[in-house]
Amino acid sequence: MSEIEPAIELSQIEAKVATLCDGALASRNYYLLSELGKALGEDLERLKIVGKLKLADFIEARLRDRFSVVSVGRGNVKAVVHSGLPAAWAWTPAVAPPPNAQAPAAKVRYHYRFWAAFAVPNAGRHRYLDPEELTFEDRDQGQAPEGHLEIAERFMTPDGIDHRDEAIMEKIQRWLNENGLPRERFLEGNERFRSAGAAAGHVLRGTTVLDAVLAALDNRQLATTSLSLDIVAALLRKRI
């Protein structure tokens, strides 16, 4: 694997963390740290090796102005929320708009992990997307993980350009057309890709047992349930 300057690699991971958190928190109040870790893939291990930091500490050190990591339940489970929000907010339903509010125009919205694969800047390496889990990795040429699809450099969108979201949308559509893939497969709300917390009890392939347990509990049960750290670790290791 080619060497990347530690500062550049950490900046890339920071951008990926921020994009994933922004996408997840656009449609719900919390983002389980375990979900974020899964979406980061091998970058989570790189963060520990290069940055000498755990994920929660990395967010606190570099993204504290935008996000906070809070304890939920009895403090054994961690989640990301927007900065300044109390932990209890993570488990409250979103506030409904007033009855006379005008409905927004319909807009295509891709799953936040899929969107991040095109929105996070690339440091000159080859990007590979897992079309089943919607996680992606940046690797050297010829190191494509099995079953992954490449997202070529021309589909990356640099920071700081005007109308960046529109540019990302256009490049995603071109990539889908080039690979013969239907757009609907990667849209937000597709049952195959809904997180355990957002799925309100729907259990999906790849979901951790801990996520499934949390999705099955209501607010009162979450407030009164306590798990030891060894049990939390065991539930995070097992997937459904």
**Strand 31-32 vs strand 77-82: parallel, antiparallel, or unpaired?**
antiparallel
**pLDDT for 165 beyond 80:** yes
Residue-level pLDDT at 140:
80
Residue-level pLDDT at 115:
92
Residue-level pLDDT at 66:
92
The average pLDDT across 136-149 equals 86
- Taking the C-alpha atoms of residue 182 and residue 173, their distance in angstroms, rounded to an integer, is 9
> What is the identity of the amino acid at 9?
E
Percent of the chain with pLDDT over 90: 31
Higher confidence at residue 192 or residue 103? 192
**With b meaning 16 or more CB within 10 Å and e meaning fewer, what string describes 85-114?**
bebeebbeeeeeeeeeeeeeeeeeebbbbb
